Amino acid sequence: MKLSIIILDFAKSTRALENIAALLRQKTNFDFEIVVAVNAATDAKKQKFAGLVSQPKIKLIFNTENLGYPRGINEAVKKSSGEILAIVNPDIICREENSLQKLVDFFARDAEIGVLAPRQIRDTDGATEMTMRAFPKLSNQVARRTFLRRLPILRERVAYDECRDLDLAQIQKVDWLQSSFWLVARDLWEELGGLDERFFLFMSDPDFCRRTWEANKTVVFLPEVTVAADGVRCSSGGFLAFFQKWTLRQHLRDAWKYSRKWRGKKSPRN
């Protein structure tokens, strides 16, 4: 098997079904499989995916509890067999029928690539999702969500963190890319031990990309391949949302864990 596509769903089953339908329409010169894992799978959730049971390209995994993101992805990868892994969020839609072919072809041309990701276009307004970032610093993450981002001393640091200076039309290496759509070689995945399960929902992607750079591989943004995204981010919100959204509080907890893990260590990029 050349490619295994891993989709972990928790609350976007309707969109996930659109995603899977679009993937099944992809035209490739290689075999691929789709491994769909559902966290906290109730009977109602299982019923939503019932129509996929007879699909030969699809494997279904129903987790009775919410394993979180890193563990859910890791467990799904164990059930896959592809040489290359595509980690894909449930809200992604490949509207062009040759997206997978172009991604795999580009990935295969450069043995130094560790993580490869396409450009994501929001359904709502056609804008490019900023899926790339500089390696996280806890102070910048807090500043981005408060009035502090407007202070002169922090404004430039936040802008750098958000990669506002990047030309999004260019193929380029970046610190890290959100795992909403990744291509990763299975060999590298196994060498690095997959996603770090000390995180529950967030921060496993910058952590994996950082370890990718340490393994002398690169993280590459490929804008010539575009996919659609719904633009809904569970980590969105400012200071007040922190008291209203569990996901935002979890983001801070995971950010703290990331900060402690990498404290005092230099960036692996030159």
Tell me how many domains the chain contains.
Answer: 1
Identify which of 146, 129, 261 has the alpha carbon closest to the alpha carbon of residue 206: 261
Q: What is the pTM of this model?
A: 0.91
pLDDT on residue 144: 63
In a domain, 268, yes or no: no
Q: 235 pLDDT exceeds 60?
A: no
- Strands 32-38, 58-62: parallel, antiparallel or unpaired by DSSP? parallel
Q: 9 pLDDT exceeds 80?
A: yes
Total number of residues shown for the chain: 270
pLDDT on residue 37: 98
pLDDT on residue 156: 72
To the nearest 10°, report the CA torsion of 25, 128, 174, 117.
0
In a domain, 63, yes or no: yes
Q: Would you give the distance in Å from CA 194 to the centre of its chain?
A: 13
Q: How much is the mean pLDDT over the chain?
A: 91
Q: What is the mean pLDDT of residues 211-231?
A: 97
Phi-psi category of 123—alpha, beta or left, where left has phi over 0 and alpha has psi -120 to 50? alpha
Q: 145 pLDDT exceeds 70?
A: no
In a domain, 225, yes or no: yes
In a domain, 267, yes or no: no
pLDDT on residue 81: 97
In a domain, 165, yes or no: yes
CA–CA gap between residue 189 and residue 71 (Å, rounded): 14
pLDDT on residue 239: 46
CATH code of the domain covering residue 50: 3.90.550.10
Q: Of 200 and 236, which is predicted with more confidence?
A: 200
Q: Would you give the distance in Å from CA 200 to the centre of its chain?
A: 14
**Which residue range(s) make up the domain with 21?**
3-262
- pLDDT band for position 248 (cuts 50, 70, 90): confident
Contacts of 44 (CB under 8 A, 6+ apart): none
In a domain, 269, yes or no: no
Amino acid at 208: F
In a domain, 11, yes or no: yes
